[in-house]
Structure 1
């Protein structure tokens, strides 16, 4: 039987902080792309930027949903709030749809995005882990 006052182990806090940093980097990436900062534009070739700019608006919206729900979900994990689970599941769903589109459906016009391909898989795996972690934390009574 779980108790809503169960004290989480130290590794819960470590994972939650690492997850917040990870999602914070995602928020930074989204804002850099949205405002076309030098850090964003310098990371891509002209051909890659053209492809990125041609992606549909819903793709960019999924990016925002994934990173902001993930970051807020991680903050709620640290606050031990149950709503973290819902936000991290939403983040996983949005990130997965976004990455599947990028990996298998989007017309990349033959432009090489091999470094992004590896990161896309890492993003899906990490988002799945965080959704599982929040669900497990909920079932253990670490979040309430």
Structure 2
């Protein structure tokens, strides 16, 4: 007889849906930036636009890995798949690679303002939390 899988409680579903929305915004930001959507990018200072447009292709690739694997991780959480853990892990690699480039080459002054730094910190905190949480859920048998 097969053992019943533990129930995913309300907190699990709240974290999953909030994570999905958070990661979906990251993907929207990526698509709008990569497609040079003028209305969306109008909010950015010229130095930020020049910086983003001047990023090497591998940094754009790392960014893509970061956002799309985070979204995939959230979708995998929705279906309670254990593969959410490695998806978030790959996302962390993409985030780390793009951040190493940004720190090593220097960012425009408008990107080092406290609000921008706060956003970068929030991205790291949320992703590390999602990795920790999905690992915990996998260990508890909530993720199949």
TM-score between the two structures when normalised by the length of structure 1: 0.89
> Does the Cα contact within 8 Å between 1:4 and 1:141 map onto a contact in 2?
no
CA RMSD of aligned residues (A): 1.6
> Does the Cα contact within 8 Å between 1:99 and 1:124 map onto a contact in 2?
no
- Structure 2: which 5+ residue stretches go unaligned? none
Aligned residue runs from structure 1 range 46-85, under 5 A: 46-85=46-85
Q: Figure out how many residues of one structure are paired with residues of the other and give that number.
A: 140
Distance in 2 separating the partners of 1:99 and 1:66: 11
1:82 counterpart SS class? coil
1:4: how far off?
Answer: 6.5
Q: Deviations along 1:47-76, whole A, 9 cap, x unmatched? A: 221111111111111111111111111111
1:128 alignment counterpart: 128
> Does the Cα contact within 8 Å between 1:73 and 1:88 map onto a contact in 2?
yes
2:11 alignment counterpart: 11
1:14: how far off?
Answer: 0.4
1:135: how far off?
Answer: 0.5
1:40 alignment counterpart: 40
1:100: how far off?
Answer: 3.6
1:92 counterpart SS class? helix
**Distance change >3 Å, CA 94–CA 17, structure 1 → 2:** same
1:133: how far off?
Answer: 1.0
Which contiguous aligned blocks of 4+ residues in structure 1 show a shift greater than 4 angstroms?
Answer: none
Which structure is higher in RCO with an 8 Å CA cutoff and minimum separation 6?
A: 1
**Distance change >3 Å, CA 39–CA 99, structure 1 → 2:** farther
The answer to whether 1:106 aligns with 2:105 is yes
